[in-house]
Amino acid sequence: MRCKGFKELMKEEEGMGTVEVILIIVVLVGLVVIFKKELVEIVNDLFDKIAKQTKKI
């Protein structure tokens, strides 16, 4: 009986959406942590270009 209950539990798909969303968030946070330096440089370059363009106008 115990084994049957476990099999039924594994077949249930309730809550799978929540687990998938949490996994996606964890992966995204991991990527941000890994590429933090590069992302900061890109954002700073963009703001520098925006500032230079606004000075021309």
pTM of the model: 0.50
pLDDT band at 1 (very low <50, low <70, confident <90, very high): very low
At residue 12, the pLDDT reads: 64
Question: Distance between CA atoms of 4 and 12, rounded to whole angstroms?
Answer: 13
Total residue length of the chain: 57
